[in-house]
Amino acid sequence: MSEGYAVRTVALRKVFTNGVEVEALRGVEMAIEYGEFVSITGPSGSGKSTLLNMLGGLDRPTGGNVFVDGIDVSTLDDRDLASLRNRSIGFVFQFHNLLPEFTARENVMIPQLVSGSKKGRAAERATDLLTQVGLSDRLEHRPYELSGGQNQRVAIARALANEPSIVIGDEPTGSNDTETSDRIYDLFRDLNRNTGQTSIVVTHEIELAERADRRIHLVDGQVVDT
Amino acid sequence: MIWRFIGTRHLVARRKQTLIAVLAVGLGIGIVLTSVALTNGFRGQLTDTTKETSPDISVTADGERIRTYQIYVSTIREVPGVTAVTPFITGNGVIRRKDADTAALVKGVEADAESEIFGFRDEMAEGSFTSIDGSTTKIVLGSGVAENIDAHVGDRVTLTTPGGGRELTVTGILHTGSFLDDRYMYLHLDTVQDMLDVGHAASGIDVGTSVEPEPVAVQIRGRTGLETETWREAAQSFAQVIETFQLFDYVFYSLILAIASAGIANVMLMTVMSKTREIGMLKSMGATDGDVMSIFLFEGAMLAAFGSVFGNVLAILLTEAIQMIEITPPEEGPAFVDVIRLNAELTVGDALFVSGFTVLLTLAFSVYPAWKAAKLPPVEALRRE
Ligand SMILES: Nc1ncnc2c1ncn2[C@@H]1O[C@H](COP(=O)(O)OP(=O)(O)OP(=O)(O)O)[C@@H](O)[C@H]1O
Ligand SMILES: [Mg+2]
């Protein structure tokens, strides 16, 4: 039963076998409802990034299943997986999210161009989104001309560009100071409330994690109660 | 068209590398095209020279002298398309004026016909060519031969042949601009037959035609049983020598172009390596393997295309420049030739072939880096900093 959930995993396992064998995920069971804002916490090396990569269709599980929007991701070929990432998922990573040769607006245009949108329409939507994240006066700036926090906000705008049903953030507050982290996190939160998108955010700041609808805690590749 | 958007930006952002790659390919194409143009020009010049210095059709008898040439001459005159016919006889001679002497070929001809076949009428530096007709004491000298003994029209000269010597008067100096000037002296046919003591015989028959010589030659062979060689056949036997060398040229050209294209492949490989994280990012946004591959193939194609444009412009400029170079022959060289110009001929076909070949080669070389980029697993690409 995976209908009704935005994301669901069943006995999800991931084993890395390059050199030594590392079992990063050992039977993860979780279900996230549409519109939920979920934080994922856990010690370093507990498998948080690995889990997000599975949920976002960036990597394939060793065992078990991942359902996104009711679709078993492991049944998709590379092309359909790419299409899923393009249409249903928006990623925000910890650092270096943006393509350095492109302006803030162009970076937000790229997922739309990948999905075949016209340049003019993509640029309009990019301007809208950047305005929503408070960067209307930084449209033509390159990543190196923006602060760390501004870079992350551009990345969030870009993650929303194709109106994905799920937004995934792997420590999206980056290595910013507490105040900036707070603002980025709040932005995530507000967008989730306004658009009804499902949000899954990894953070190591407990205080931020507590503000989510629900907190999933990982230890040693397994979900534990908090 | 995400590939064009991103590919173009990569090229512009790394403009220094882009420029170097374009220059390398352009230089390769430019050099190859110029060499091809020079070969073309040389071949063209060779053909032109052969056409100018050969009769339309040369009729011979297997290297033997022709004894009954009068019959053949009248038979050949009957062949449609034939405008002029002269039997000729050649032999060696030494010509002397005062203390200077020089060796050259003596050619005995019927001057009217010979003049028409070779177009000598407009190529006389002094006197007239037909002045030798019917005369036993008159001689026309090639300008190079005349120069060697400082002879002019009206000068008395002595011609010595294996059959004996004779006092003659120079009545014409021929200047064609070709090797004929340095090699020939012309007298009336009967006079040379007499001097060489060969009786009534000819070395061959020169034939001029008003139409393409090949079908006429077939007719002549059929009616006389003699051998013929058209000017085009004469040119071809020279051209064959060039073609043998051209085989080596093609190997050499391919190497130059391969090196230039490999330069592009190297630039591409470096780009792919430095863009690993971005490739991961693009894939996280849903770019397919095909999208990523297209980006880098597009970059390779653009480098090759701009390289081709630059190479063709370079080749045009080089061939123009080469044709403007004037080589002044050494003092004691052939007279009357003021300057020698190199001939270079750039054809659209060659330009298209060489450019097309290079673009294909570059694309082939770009496939590997592009494929490497496309096949990067997104998670692995994203791990790189
Ligand atoms: N590509 C890989 N190859 C080998 N081992 C890997 C790979 N990716 C992750 N691992 C291992 O899997 C385990 C989980 O890694 P993961 O990156 O998911 O942890 P994390 O919870 O995100 O840690 P952090 O908070 O430091 O980011 C670790 O032991 C890590 O070394
Ligand atoms: Mg992590």
pLDDT at residue B330 in the model: 61
B72 and B207 in a single domain? The answer is yes
Residue A215 or B52, more confident: A215
A113 contacts B283? CB cut-off 8 A: no
Is residue B50 over pLDDT 60?
yes
For residue B385, the distance in angstroms to the closest alpha carbon of chain A comes to: 8
Q: Environment class of residue A222 by beta-carbon count within 10 Å: exposed (0-12), middle (13-18) or buried (19+)?
A: middle
Give Rg (Cα) of chain A: 17
DSSP three-state, residue A34 = coil
pLDDT band at B383 (very low <50, low <70, confident <90, very high): confident
Residue B346 lies in a domain: yes
DSSP three-state, residue B254 = helix
Residue B12 lies in a domain: yes
Residue B36 or B325, more confident: B36
- Per the structure, the complete domain to which residue A58 belongs is given by 5-225
Residue B108 lies in a domain: yes
B291 contacts A85? CB cut-off 8 A: no
Report ipTM (2 d.p.): 0.92
Owner of token pair 């002497």: B101
Task: Report CA(A41)–ligand 2 centroid distance (Å).
Answer: 10
Q: Give the pair of three-digit tokens for residue B211.
A: 């139409």
B289 contacts A78? CB cut-off 8 A: yes
B317 and B369 in a single domain? The answer is yes
Is residue A3 over pLDDT 70?
no
Owner of token pair 């096949």: B375
Is residue B102 over pLDDT 70?
yes
pLDDT at residue B332 in the model: 55
CA distances from A64 to A13, A60, B83, B216 (A): 6, 10, 97, 89
State the Cα angle at A153 between A150 and A155, rounded to 5°: 115
pLDDT band at B336 (very low <50, low <70, confident <90, very high): very low
Is residue A113 over pLDDT 50?
yes
Which helix (H) or strand (E) is A86 found in, with range?
helix A78-88
- Quick: pLDDT tens for B342-373: 788 888 999 999 999 988 988 888 898 899 88
Q: Of B40, B37, B33, whose CA–CA distance to B260 is shortest?
A: B33
- Per the structure, the complete domain to which residue B105 belongs is given by 62-225
Least confident span in B69-83, B220-234, B240-254, B368-382:
B240-254
Is residue B10 over pLDDT 60?
yes
B87 and B164 in a single domain? The answer is yes
pLDDT at residue B385 in the model: 64
Across the range B130-155, mean pLDDT stands at: 93
B25 and B146 in a single domain? The answer is no
Tell me, what DSSP letter sits at residue B330? P
What is the rounded CA–CA span in Å between residue A115 and residue A86? 7
Q: Mutate which of B5, B284, B289, B385 to disrupt the A interface (most A C-beta within 10 Å)?
A: B284
Spell out where A126-213 has E strands: 166-170, 198-202
B198 and B277 in a single domain? The answer is no
**Number of neighbouring beta carbons within 10 Å of residue B107:** 23
Considering its fold, how many domains does chain A have in total? Answer: 1
Task: Report CA(A48)–ligand 1 centroid distance (Å).
Answer: 8
Across the range A217-226, mean pLDDT stands at: 90
Residue B344 lies in a domain: yes
What is the rounded CA–CA span in Å between residue A223 and residue B164? 122
The interface residues of chain B toward chain A in range 264-283, judged by CB-CB distance below 8 A, are: 277-278, 281-283
Q: Mutate which of A17, A50, A85, A95 to disrupt the B interface (most B C-beta within 10 Å)?
A: A85
* Torsion sign (Cα): B360, B365, B366, B370: positive
Which of B194, B225, B256 is a domain's end point? Answer: B225
Tell me, what DSSP letter sits at residue A18? S
pLDDT at residue B82 in the model: 94
B47 and B133 in a single domain? The answer is no
Q: Could you tell me how many CB contacts below 8 A there are between chain A and chain B?
A: 69
- Quick: pLDDT tens for A60-85: 999 999 999 889 998 999 999 999 99
pLDDT band at B337 (very low <50, low <70, confident <90, very high): very low
Which of B225, B253, B277 is a domain's end point? Answer: B225
**Chain B hits for A56, Cβ within 8 Å:** 284
Task: Report CA(A170)–ligand 1 centroid distance (Å).
Answer: 12
Q: Which of B2, B13, B385 sits opposite A101 (nearest CB)?
A: B13
B120 and B218 in a single domain? The answer is yes
Owner of token pair 């507990």: A46
Tell me, what DSSP letter sits at residue B329? P
Close Cβ partners of B227 (under 8 Å, ≥ 6 residues apart): B59, B60, B61, B62, B221
- B70-75 contacts at long range (C-beta below 8 A, 24 or more positions apart): B72/B205, B72/B224, B72/B226, B73/B205, B75/B223, B75/B224
Considering its fold, how many domains does chain B have in total? Answer: 2
pLDDT at residue B331 in the model: 57
Across the range B174-196, mean pLDDT stands at: 92
- Quick: pLDDT tens for B237-296: 777 777 777 778 888 888 888 888 888 888 888 888 888 899 999 999 999 999 999 999
Where on the phi/psi map is residue B110: left (φ > 0), alpha (ψ -120 to 50), or beta? beta
Contact B30, B314 (CB under 8 A): yes
B43 and B82 in a single domain? The answer is no
Least confident span in B56-65, B113-122, B330-339:
B330-339
Q: Give the pair of three-digit tokens for residue A74.
A: 């492991």
Cβ < 6 A, ligand 1 pocket: A 16, 18, 22, 24, 42, 44-50
Residue B25 or B49, more confident: B25
B285 contacts A91? CB cut-off 8 A: yes
Contact B84, B207 (CB under 8 A): yes
For residue B284, the distance in angstroms to the closest alpha carbon of chain A comes to: 6
pLDDT at residue A1 in the model: 46
What is the rounded CA–CA span in Å between residue B57 and residue B346? 30
Residue B292 lies in a domain: yes
B377 contacts A102? CB cut-off 8 A: no
For residue A2, the distance in angstroms to the closest alpha carbon of chain B comes to: 24
Is residue B43 over pLDDT 90?
no
Across the range B122-146, mean pLDDT stands at: 92
Is residue B335 over pLDDT 70?
no
Close Cβ partners of B106 (under 8 Å, ≥ 6 residues apart): B90, B91, B92, B93, B159, B161, B185, B187, B192, B195, B196
Least confident span in A144-148, B328-332, B335-339, B352-356:
B335-339
- Residue bearing the CA closest to ligand 1, atom 22: A49
Q: Which of B5, B12, B382 sits opposite A93 (nearest CB)?
A: B382
Residue A56 or A208, more confident: A56
| Nearest-ligand number for the alpha carbon of A55 | 1
Residue B231 lies in a domain: no
For residue B287, how many C-alpha atoms fall within 13 Å in the half-sphere facing its CB? 27
Buried b (16+ CB within 10 A) or exposed e, B118-128: bebeebbbbbb
B217 and B315 in a single domain? The answer is no
Is residue B75 over pLDDT 90?
yes
Spell out where A4-104 has E strands: 5-16, 22-33, 37-41, 63-68, 71-72, 89-92
B177 and B139 in a single domain? The answer is yes
B252 and B201 in a single domain? The answer is no
The enclosing domain of A118 has a CATH number of 3.40.50.300
